[in-house]
Amino acid sequence: MTRYPSQRLHEEVAYLGFHLHWPYDQIMSMAHRERQRWVAEVAALLSRE
């Protein structure tokens, strides 16, 4: 089993917290894939602006 890089996890938490104003606990309670999906969705919205 491979661990997810902690630097990447911190980046995802900061990204979602900054853009969606979600609290740390809510972001950390998400499954890895769900969190990645939200990061991708926010990035897509920002690229359209």
State residue 3's pLDDT score. 80
Let me know: does 19 contact 42? Beta carbons within 8 Å.
yes
State residue 1's pLDDT score. 60
Write the CB contacts of 37 (distance below 8 Å, at least 6 apart in sequence). Answer: none
State residue 49's pLDDT score. 80
User: Could you count the other beta carbons within 10 Å of the beta carbon of residue 38?
Assistant: 18
The Cα 8–Cα 31 span in angstroms is 14
Let me know: does 45 contact 16? Beta carbons within 8 Å.
no
This model's pTM is above 0.75: yes
Q: To the nearest whole percent, how much of the chain has pLDDT over 70?
A: 96
State residue 4's pLDDT score. 81
Q: What is the mean pLDDT of residues 28-47?
A: 97
Write the CB contacts of 44 (distance below 8 Å, at least 6 apart in sequence). Answer: none
